[in-house]
Amino acid sequence: MREILGRRRKLRFGRRGGPARLDAALTCATAWQWPVLPGVGLQPAGGRDDRGRGCACPDPECAVPGAHPFDPGLLAATTDARMVRWWWTNRPTAPVLLATGGHAPCALSLPAVAGARALAVLDGTGMRLGPVVATPTRWSLLVAPYTLERLGELLHAQDWVPSSLRFHGEGGYLVLPPSEIGTGQVWWERAPERVSRPGRDGGGPVVAASPWLPDVGAVLDALVEASTGAPDGGSRLTH
């Protein structure tokens, strides 16, 4: 489903940061084939200090200010360059949202402090990780696409899973850099890694279009092991 051009609710958006977000959205959509759409964004700044700005949606109690779809809805996510250009030309400071699942990446997310601890532990084991998206409150580890059935089987096989873990699969979304949301700036804690493979007939390396992503099972197993390995018997991934 695509947004009908010319039919938009009258939301107000600021004017800063447009080119970088358009470039990011086009890279995701056209180079990586990740379906994206603009997030609702934040209310215009009332002064020099932008902190505490609320969501541009009508809900004054919005739990994720700026960081969710509104108009268009999630089903409008696309890899079409023309649509992406139109969206971010008209909404230059809109956050970039990835529609997770299907053929697109999925993610596992943790509170920011727990996410930093988890990355340190996983790095210590030598595990190869994919892109990691960070906000001031949560870190998200991108993984290869998985189905809800596969996720259910993986969770069933675990004796215990940290309650702080969230799963972003089919029908979900994730805010991507360089967006700004209610909790602050979004950045790549681990930038997407391009994959090189040998060219034909012994030629030079060919760079694959999409960034490399780990399997969700390997990441989930590693996170559970990292959490249960806390010296005091507690969980490293609770804060």
**Residues 7 and 42 placed together within one structural domain of the fold:** yes
Residue where a domain stops, chosen among 99, 118, 143: 99
**Residues 214 and 195 placed together within one structural domain of the fold:** yes
**Residues 117 and 79 placed together within one structural domain of the fold:** no
Looking at every residue in the chain, the average pLDDT score rounds to 84
Q: What is the pLDDT of residues 38-57, one digit of tens each?
A: 999 999 876 444 456 799 99
Pair 69, 1: CB distance under 8 Å: no
Q: Extract the tokens encoding 40.
A: 């609702």
- Supply the pTM of this predicted model: 0.83
SS3 107: strand
DSSP-assigned beta bridge partners for residue 110 = 139
**Residues 19 and 65 placed together within one structural domain of the fold:** yes
d(CA 117, CA 128): 16
Residue 56 sits at the vertex; the CA angle it makes with 54 and 61, to the nearest 5 degrees, is: 50
**Residues 236 and 154 placed together within one structural domain of the fold:** yes
Pair 24, 38: CB distance under 8 Å: no
Q: Which residues of 70-98 are buried (b: 16+ CB within 10 A; e: fewer)?
A: bebebebbbbeeebbeebbeebbbbbbbb
Domain, as residue range, for 54: 1-99
**Residues 166 and 123 placed together within one structural domain of the fold:** yes
**Residues 166 and 91 placed together within one structural domain of the fold:** no
**Residues 182 and 219 placed together within one structural domain of the fold:** yes
**Residues 94 and 174 placed together within one structural domain of the fold:** no
**Residues 124 and 175 placed together within one structural domain of the fold:** yes
| pLDDT, position 47 | 43
| Residue stretches of the chain with pLDDT short of 50 | 1-16, 47-50, 232-233
